[in-house]
Structure 1
Amino acid sequence: MSSIREIIRNIVNKLADKDGFKRAWVEKHWPELVGLEASRHSLPQRVERATLFVSVDSSVWNQELFMRRRQLLQKINDNFSHVILQDIKYQLGHFSFFQEPTKEKLEKISGLIDNRIGQDQRRQIDFQEMTILAGLRRKRHKI
């Protein structure tokens, strides 16, 4: 009999084969993956055929992140049972971030939600949140 953890891991790994999920997962974890300062100067844009495309706001950050490319790929792929990304391509672009809620506000909201719903519903909300945030960021870049 499989544990709940194994079942969830299998579901996540199946989802990981979809480019939209890959991009959403990377976008959600971007500050943790590259560091807060680098995340302020870069933004994952899309995934196509196991290649992550990232916009950067200067040639300096382009070079910095390019040099860390292999390390970043390893960090991302270590979170899954198989390789989900094989390459990262950086491109200069201009973008602005909308103001994100503070950590305290997110924790308060998360606590309220967790008290009222189960874990399965929480996972669904987290996935929908990633999808909405990704859509907002993409929409802001098109403007």
Structure 2
Amino acid sequence: MRKPNDKPIKEAIEQMLRVYKLKRKFDETSLVAAWPEMMGPAVANRTRQLYIRDKKLFIRVESSVLKNELLMIRSQILDKMNERAGADVLEEIVFL
């Protein structure tokens, strides 16, 4: 029998992240970790130093050809990553 203040664990964790103001950092970290899955192994193996600062995703790209390709689909990458996070975590992508 459930008590009136019982919550599912997912809801409790989300509430804890909001209360301690960790939600944004958690979303940022999960996006960086999901980069290989979202972009595929070919892109993930040629990108280095992924990090997020001030709603900007910084990516070091080893190949100039790949960098050009990623520049052309920048807005699609932003949309895909924000959709995965469920919020507007990113506003811009910077290629290094």
Range into which the TM-score falls when normalised by the shorter chain: 0.7 to 0.9
Partner of 1:135: none
Q: Structure 1 CA distance, aligned partners of 2:14 and 2:75?
A: 24
Contact 1:27 1:44 (8 Å CA) reproduced: no
Number of aligned pairs? 89
Q: Match for residue 75 of structure 1?
A: 80
Q: Does 1:61 align with 2:66?
A: yes
Q: Which amino acid aligns with 1:5?
A: K
Q: What displacement does 1:15 show?
A: 2.5
2:46 is aligned with 1:41: yes
Structure 1 gaps, min length 5: 92-143
Match of 2:33 among 22, 28, 35: 28
Q: Report the TM-score, using the length of structure 2 for normalisation.
A: 0.73
Aligned to 1:107: none
5+ long unaligned stretches in structure 2: none
Is 1:87 aligned to residue 96 of structure 2? no
TM-score by structure 1 length? 0.52
**Partners of 2:64 and 2:73 in 1: CA distance:** 14
Aligned-residue sequence identity (percent) comes to 29
The structure with higher relative contact order (CA 8 Å, sep 6+) is 2
CA RMSD of aligned residues (A): 2.4
